[in-house]
Structure 1
Amino acid sequence: MSDFSNALNVSASGLRAQATRLQHVSENIANADTPGYRRKSISFEAVRNGDEGAVKTSRVNLDRSDLPSVFDPAHPLADDNGYYQGSNVDLIIEIADAREAQRSYEANLKMFDQVRQMSSGLMDLLRK
């Protein structure tokens, strides 16, 4: 039975990691027009001293690329020349990241369900 629980733990760690990734993607999309906002990203790392194959999220990384200068003399944050720093969020990248995270989440969910069904089938066989 421990193989089943290990598989469930690996799948659950993937679900948690992708949910966290989707949270950061949604924050990026929500702040795409916020002046001075830097894109957030996370990466995954293997869990040590735990289930083989399990993952966890790393610290949040801020995109250090240059913020674009936006010309809008009427903006309250504009300098003397009429420019302010915009956001470095690219909506195309965020949408692609959201789709990738969604597909990975669905794959982990299918794996979780498959292991659950296998465990239930094994219990039914053992009862007979």
Structure 2
Amino acid sequence: MSISGITNIALSGMRAQTARVGAIANNIANSSTPDYARLNTSLTSTEPGVRAIVEPTTLNVDLATELTTMIEAEQSYKANAAIFETGADMWEMLMSIKRD
């Protein structure tokens, strides 16, 4: 796999986690709204990377679940960001070798 492929996969992971956090924020903001349909985010594998699908459900909003999912999304985003940074560092190293 190429460095650009790795960074693209990490970028898609960060985008998916951003969509996930957006859905969680919407659920928390509307937790006391009558007849609110909780948004559920599912992640699906694509070529290349991952994609978030946000769909309304019939479930009620549980703040403990939302906050736990928020922590999970944060950790996943950080992991993808670390991979992206490593790929960027590798590109920088290759460019400095090429210049010499």
Length-normalised TM-score, structure 1? 0.73
In structure 2, what is the equivalent of residue 94 of structure 1? Answer: 66
Would you tell me which structure has more helix in proportion to its own residues? 2
Q: CA deviation at 1:125?
A: 1.4
1:12-27 paired onto structure 2 within 5 Å: 12-27=11-26
Distance 2:18 2:86 in 1: 20
**Higher RCO by CA contacts (8 Å cutoff, separation 6 or greater):** 2
The answer as to 2:63 corresponding to 1:127 is: no
Larger radius of gyration: 1
In structure 2, what is the equivalent of residue 33 of structure 1? Answer: 32
- Which of 52, 56, 60 is the equivalent residue of 2:51? 56
The root-mean-square deviation of aligned C-alpha atoms, in Å, is 1.3
Length-normalised TM-score, structure 2? 0.93
Which blocks of at least 5 consecutive residues in structure 1 are unaligned? 66-87
Which blocks of at least 5 consecutive residues in structure 2 are unaligned? none
Counterpart of 2:97, as a letter, is L
In structure 2, what is the equivalent of residue 68 of structure 1? Answer: none
